[in-house]
Structure 1
Amino acid sequence: MKGPLFYSKILLFGEYGIIKDSKGLSIPYNFYKGALKKEETLSLSQQASNKNLRRFAGYLAEMQEGNNLVRFDLDKFEQDLEEGMYFDSSIPQGYGVGSSGALVAAIYDQYALNKITVLENLNREKLQSLKAIFSQMESFFHGKSSGLDPLNSYLSLPILINSQDHVEAAGIPSQSTNGKGAVFLLDSGIVGETAPMVHIFMENMKQEGFRKMLKEKFVKHTDACVDDFLKGDVKSLFKNVKQLSHVVLDNFKPMIPKQFHELWKKGIDTGNYYLKLCGSGGGGYILGFTEDFEKAQKELKDYKLEVVYNF
């Protein structure tokens, strides 16, 4: 057995904001991928994956008791686990590129009964159903999930989030092959944990000042970035990304690893690059935007950078 491949994703805009109805834009990132596989003898890491899948199977059994959103062929799932199934993935965990999302997509694809397939006409209703199913499934890993990562991985299409109950597949401007500008990933070298970061955010949301900042600054600039990116208005995009980077540095400090605070500020001050959170933060990848990648590379020469999109 070798299941189909599911890719990692990058949430370009919308981290945290989408919990509070900002727009968001998520794109597949084919550099990392995962698939369900079976082996007769499992290595230690494959055994760990098999064990994790067993716990997930138990969670899905409870989940389908409590709702009629989706049913799974759990007998088949259990049988495959007995036969040495595991999730073979190159997607780094705790890096904000959707490792659990790809796993959820693979399990749904393999075991959901009456599943919504990628080949159907994916109207708004079907996308919402998928997002709701994936949100419940992925909550096993994070405590609270929007369902977007698995949706992106399952469809392998850019996803535009207009609001929590309005999601659509999006066309994004094609990349410029000889452009100087780029969106890139910077490897922080630290593994991030999603649940504690979301907890800090939820605690902050209890303060009126934080809620006001989120609505008037964070969501405003996030929405503008999404609109600019989809329109291909690079000039306006960088103006808004700079503002967004500033708001994050001022208000989301716990989500930025301490040793990157100076680097973050330097980007804003020089204008050579702007950094933002990739996923929930706390480590993993940091997302960067630059109008001149060579210049950014020189400034960030001590770090490993990966280009994900060229302007």
Structure 2
Amino acid sequence: MFGEYGLMFGAKALAIPFPKFAGYFAWIDANSPSDYQKNSAAELERFASWFATEEIASKMNFPLDLERLNADLKKGLYFESDVPLQYGVGSSGALCAALYDQYSSFSATAGFSPEFNPDLIPKLREDFITLESYFHGRSSGLDPLVAFLNRPVLVEDGKISLPELELHKQPWSVYLIDTEITSPTSPLVKLFIEKMEVDEFKDIFHQSYVPANDGATLAFMQNDADFFFSHLKELHDIQSEHLCEMIPDSCLEFIRELKSRGILVKLLGSGGGGFLLAFVPAGAVFPEKEKSFRIF
């Protein structure tokens, strides 16, 4: 929801589960396997090979049972998911969460019993950072953590908490705009890190971007509409000017049209395509041109 890119450099981050999309493990249809099933199984096999070759188990607090995973892969295991790939909504996070739930020693021993210790959450995040590095090279670990806990997660000053949000009471609506463009995360993360090496951008980031992000995050959690849209406008303007490479050209006119109606759009995840987030204040409506894009 908030904190894309900024999380790597000290900004607040808030992530929230999105129940529209889900994933689960299943078995390949031995008689007529689909291309999706075969591709998913192949990806899991590559993951298992990486896990073994890089000795990932030694880097985890609650390692995966690689022997059991490989045995299931031989039986035809694959990951059935409707989470769009390279869309900024956590497709790799969903897979990492499912692997952890099914094969980690945490799920096998600790689980979410009434005695579950919240102090374990940082250790879970450490494991998800390790697992998701297979997909992104560098990961915050938030997407798989949110998928695994199925709870909103806030990162502030490097510490994780599970805030209680009253989303149904918010005086605005939130929509996903489908750009219909897939966009891998790693190249855009690399681009952002390169931008942070330029003093002018680095100053804008720390002096303007982080305060706008953190203010919007706080106001979102407090359901404070005036405070929220004030900071969100700053965030929108900075992303439009200084992270324009992450916003598809095909969406620019629509985004400007929305802004003229008080509807503000921001990146979701790394950008470049996938979904964009649109925040609609009370009383505002989407223009007719929304028919050009799928809206969720």
Task: Figure out how many residues of one structure are paired with residues of the other and give that number.
Answer: 291
Q: Which of 210, 213, 216 is the matching residue for 1:219?
A: 210
Identity %: 32
Match of 1:88 in 2: 80
Q: Which of 159, 163, 170 is the matching residue for 1:166?
A: 159
Gap regions ≥5 residues in structure 2: none
Q: Deviations over 1:130-166 (max 9, x none)?
A: 1110001001011111100000000000111113x30
User: Is 2:64 the partner of 1:75?
Assistant: no
Q: Deviations over 1:101-146 (max 9, x none)?
A: 0100010111112445233555553111011100010010111111
The answer to which of 135-144 and 67-76 deviates more is 67-76
Q: Deviations over 1:253-280 (max 9, x none)?
A: 1100112233333433x24311100100
User: Is 2:194 the partner of 1:203?
Assistant: yes
Instruction: Report the alpha carbon displacement of residue 202 of structure 1 after superposing the two structures with TM.
Output: 0.9
Match of 1:141 in 2: 135
Q: Which of 17, 20, 24 is the matching residue for 2:9?
A: 20
Match of 1:256 in 2: 247
Distance 1:120 1:168, change over 3 A: farther
- Structure-1 separation of matches of 2:65 and 2:217: 39
TM-score, structure 2 normalization: 0.92
Match of 1:237 in 2: 228
Q: What pairs with 1:30-41 in structure 2 (closer than 5 Å)?
A: 30-41=19-30
User: Is 2:179 the partner of 1:185?
Assistant: no
Match of 1:274 in 2: 264
Contact 1:124 1:166 (8 Å CA) reproduced: no
TM-score, structure 1 normalization: 0.88
Q: Which of 156, 177, 183 is the matching residue for 2:150?
A: 156
Contact 2:246 2:272 (8 Å CA) reproduced: yes
- Bigger fraction of residues in strand: 1
Q: Secondary structure at the match of 1:30?
A: coil
Distance 1:293 1:197, change over 3 A: farther
> Aligned partner of 1:86: which letter?
Y
The answer to which of 83-92 and 206-215 deviates more is 206-215
Distance 1:81 1:14, change over 3 A: same
Distance 1:208 1:85, change over 3 A: same
Distance 1:97 1:121, change over 3 A: farther
- Structure-2 separation of matches of 1:87 and 1:144: 23
Instruction: Report the alpha carbon displacement of residue 293 of structure 1 after superposing the two structures with TM.
Output: 6.8
Q: Secondary structure at the match of 1:175?
A: helix
> Aligned partner of 1:126: which letter?
L
- Structure-2 separation of matches of 1:304 and 1:207: 36
Contact 1:186 1:286 (8 Å CA) reproduced: yes
Contact 1:34 1:103 (8 Å CA) reproduced: yes
CA RMSD of aligned residues (A): 1.9
> Aligned partner of 1:125: which letter?
D
Match of 1:300 in 2: 290
Contact 1:95 1:285 (8 Å CA) reproduced: yes
Q: Secondary structure at the match of 1:72?
A: coil
Contact 2:262 2:284 (8 Å CA) reproduced: no
